[in-house]
Amino acid sequence: MTTEADDIDARVRGVLSDVFGIDADAIGPDTSKDTVKGWDSLQQLTLTLSLEEEFGIRFSDDETVSLVTYPLILLIVTELLV
């Protein structure tokens, strides 16, 4: 049985995978702007817009600036959805 948290996690991994061209299974706690090749300001914007579209949410400016690691992205998205 899949929980809502598992669904959010899978969807966040899917967005990261699509935006950065990396395998969703390779995304983990260490995935960040410092460890993903090509995670620059343009890709950050693409990531933000893709997450907003995927989940039907809007990030504040502070939240957008914080979307720099997989764990933080998952936390912020989850908080906006509950």
6-52 pLDDT, tens digit per residue, is: 899 999 999 999 999 999 999 999 999 999 999 999 999 999 999 99
Class of the CATH-defined domain 4-81: mainly alpha
Q: What is the pTM of this model?
A: 0.92
Minimal CA–CA distance to 11: which of 29, 24, 28, 30? 24
pLDDT at 56 over 90: yes
In 10 A of CB 44, how many CB atoms? 16
Cα–Cα distance for residue pair 51/59, rounded to 1 Å: 9
Cα 19 from Cα 43, distance rounded (Å):
7
SS3 5: helix
Is residue 33 within 8 Å of 59, Cβ to Cβ?
no
